[in-house]
Amino acid sequence: MSGSESQRFRTGLVSALVAYVLWGVFPLYFLLLRPAGAFEIVAWRILFSLVFCVVLITSLRTWKPFLAIARQPKILLLMGLAGALIYVNWQTYILGTLSNQVVETSLGYFINPIVTVLLGVLVLRERLRVLQWVAIGVSALAVVVLTVGYGSVPWIALVLASSFGLYGLVKKVVGPRVDAVSGLTLETVWLTPVAIVQLIVVGQVSGLVFGSVSVWHTVLMLVSGVATAIPLLLFASATRRLPLVYVGFMQFIAPILQFAIGVFVLKEPMPPERWAGFAIVWVSLALLVVDMLRASRQSKPLDLEVEGL
């Protein structure tokens, strides 16, 4: 590896690491936004993300390419679909976090790679290798065990995994035609009316918290847009510099941190059945990693484009 390639690799590695660590500690950040509720937090997150994206596009002077993307009806509709899916993901994630179910949210992102593989079969008609089929079967067993452990179907985890998996599928269809900033901008533009209606309803039902708690709380709410965009941009930078296999390994940093926060910081209950379910999930992920390593030795690394929590 030459000096420039080595520097490029290190930059990508650091960018991916920082992005996944930021996503991993998100539960602690959103818990600091209490007593604001999940619906108010998501609404402000959408609006402040849009403001940040507008400022970023203006400072980078990239309005021309952004408007060129926005004028393409097919891409515009696909970004609307992506926006709807990421809205479901954000709303479910914050509802789970604020209701002290951080461990279950981590489960959603642990099983997301399995869902992504399954969507490849069902939607893209991809052919799976033997280890991938085994991983899917093992993960299905894990869901059954966790259903017993939770006493109910882990809906939060399943909604997070499926919404993020479908979101990644839409982004895959769009491909390199839409950069990270333009994509997030279009998604938040679509979601802005939803955010406004959500704030009106919350204001009428329980009252808005924003600006009424403390200066620190208001600042934390204001930077939610930056908190959304920064790891996304770092991740986009990493995927341009790193082989897919490295990105695949590092994607587990976020749910591992979320799981650790839920168990060791927030002291969420972990009965034996739940530990057993997570252990089975980790076995299925280990099978995917082994399959990923084998595939990476036989084929050229691919590009990956996924957005964050």
Give yes or no for residue 291 having a pLDDT over 80.
Answer: yes
262 occurs within a structural domain: yes
Least trusted range by pLDDT, from 126-130, 194-198, 229-233, 254-258: 126-130
pTM of the model: 0.89
Among 12-21, 51-60, 169-178, 204-213, which stretch is predicted with the lowest mean pLDDT? 169-178
Percentage of the chain lying above the pLDDT 70 cut: 94
Letter string b/e over residues 35-57, b meaning 16 or more CB atoms within 10 A of that residue's CB: ebbbbbbbbbbbbbbbebbeebb
Would you say residue 304 lies in a domain? no
pLDDT of residue 305: 42
- Predicted confidence at residue 71, as pLDDT, reads 94
Please check the confidence at residue 39 and state whether its pLDDT lies above 90: yes
Residue 64 located in a structural domain: yes
User: 118-132, 215-229, 284-298 — which one is most confidently predicted on average?
Assistant: 215-229
**Containing domain of residue 19, as a range?**
3-298
What total number of domains does the chain contain? 1
For 11-20, 94-103, 206-215, 238-247, which range has the lowest pLDDT when averaged over its residues? 238-247
Q: Give the separation between CA 267 and CA 127, rounded to whole angstroms.
A: 41
- Within a domain: 74: yes
Is 309 a member of any domain? no
- Residue 307 in any domain: the answer is no
Kindly tell me if the per-residue pLDDT of 303 is higher than 50: no
* CA–CA gap between residue 115 and residue 108 (Å, rounded): 10
Q: For residue 305, is it within any domain?
A: no
Q: Helices marked H in the chain — which ranges?
A: 3-24, 26-31, 38-60, 63-70, 73-98, 102-122, 130-150, 155-174, 180-205, 215-222, 224-239, 244-250, 253-260, 272-298
Q: How far apart are CA 291 and CA 232, in angstroms?
A: 27
215 within some domain: yes
